Amino acid sequence: MPLYTNAAGGILTPEEVGALIVQPVEAASVAMQIATVVPTNSGEFRIPIVTNDAVAAWTPEGSDINPSDAGVDEVTVKPDKLAALSIISNELANDSSPAAQNVVGDSIARDLARKVDAAFFADTTANGPDGIESITYQSTTTTTLTNTDAFAEAISLAENVGAMVTAFVANAATVLALSKVKQTTDSNLPLLQPDPTLPTRRQILGVPLWSVPDTVVPDNVVWAIDGTRVFVIVRQDVDLRVDESRYFESDRLGIRATMRVGFGFPHEAAVVCIGEPDGS
């Protein structure tokens, strides 16, 4: 699918933008793969949460049932704008090769995905959404990564609040260190096992282990996440525009992509951290 139109300056259809920007960003972003992605047309997205359950009680036959109300609140997510602008020559833009036509769009999508991940695993991001470090997550008492004890504790902590860990996330250096750990001191069998759904990815205690760049998550920190209780909200007005008018005198055109993304953590205790993100 061409990245541009012959008119250059035109706006692509939502279907074309989805194929060129949204889908590649979702495929490249770890955050968007491990969390629940929700598209919205609204400037704000509200996620309902139950603060306390209705109260059940053993009741004699024929007796009145005591009424009780569940406590209900909500988390409001306001997606923030993430934008990229790339300038290329008309010669490249008009290349007949599909690979040449889409190379810049792929580059934009990859960097949008990197920025989404960096914000998701951060505390705060300038002009962007608050990330996972900003919430009141649980932490394991065991932080040693030379065996599975810390991971078992993280799974247990999540289960204790009714959650289920669906993904572990660490940076590439930590994943490499874990990959070198053996099952026992006198064994050559690695502690990590291949994920049957994707052999190039590893798993710990049956849970997939995802790798992100070293700059996204600190060393020796592993996030345990229940993807059903963590949300990435994406506004559906993702925009991709191609315009050559501004750069007319230099025979170049600009490619601009904008998308609005926010994060929702309605059940903060469902997120467990192994290690200390702030380095303490």
**In CATH, what number is assigned to the domain containing residue 243?**
3.30.2400.10
Is the residue at 140 inside a domain? yes
Does the predicted model carry a pTM greater than 0.85?
Answer: no
Is the residue at 6 inside a domain? no
pLDDT of residue 109: 83
Is the residue at 265 inside a domain? yes
Q: What is the tens place of the pLDDT at every residue in 129-153? A: 999 999 999 999 999 998 899 999 9
Cβ contact 224:272 at 8 Å: yes
Is the residue at 64 inside a domain? no
Is the residue at 7 inside a domain? no
pLDDT of residue 257: 80
pLDDT of residue 231: 96
Is the residue at 80 inside a domain? yes
Is the residue at 106 inside a domain? yes
Q: What is the tens place of the pLDDT at every residue in 235-248? A: 987 777 766 666 56
Which backbone phi and psi does 138 adopt, to 5 degrees?
Answer: -90, 155
Q: Domain of 80?
A: 14-50+71-274
Is the residue at 60 inside a domain? no
| Number of domains within the chain | 1
Query: Which residues fall within 8 angstroms of residue 255, CB to CB, at 6 or more apart?
Result: 3, 4, 85, 86, 87, 88, 104, 105, 108, 240, 241, 242
pLDDT of residue 268: 94
Q: Is the dihedral of CA 120, 125, 130, 135 positive or negative?
A: positive
Residues in the chain: 280
How confident is the chain (280 residues) per 10-residue block, as mean pLDDT?
A: 40 56 84 94 85 77 81 84 76 57 72 94 96 96 92 97 96 94 78 80 92 95 96 84 63 76 95 85
Distance CA 169, CA 226 (A): 11
pLDDT of residue 130: 96
Q: What is the DSSP letter of 246?
A: T
- Which contacts of 198-204 are long-range, i.e. CB under 8 A and separated by 24 or more positions? 202/175, 202/178, 204/148, 204/151, 204/168, 204/178
Distance CA 159, CA 166 (A): 11
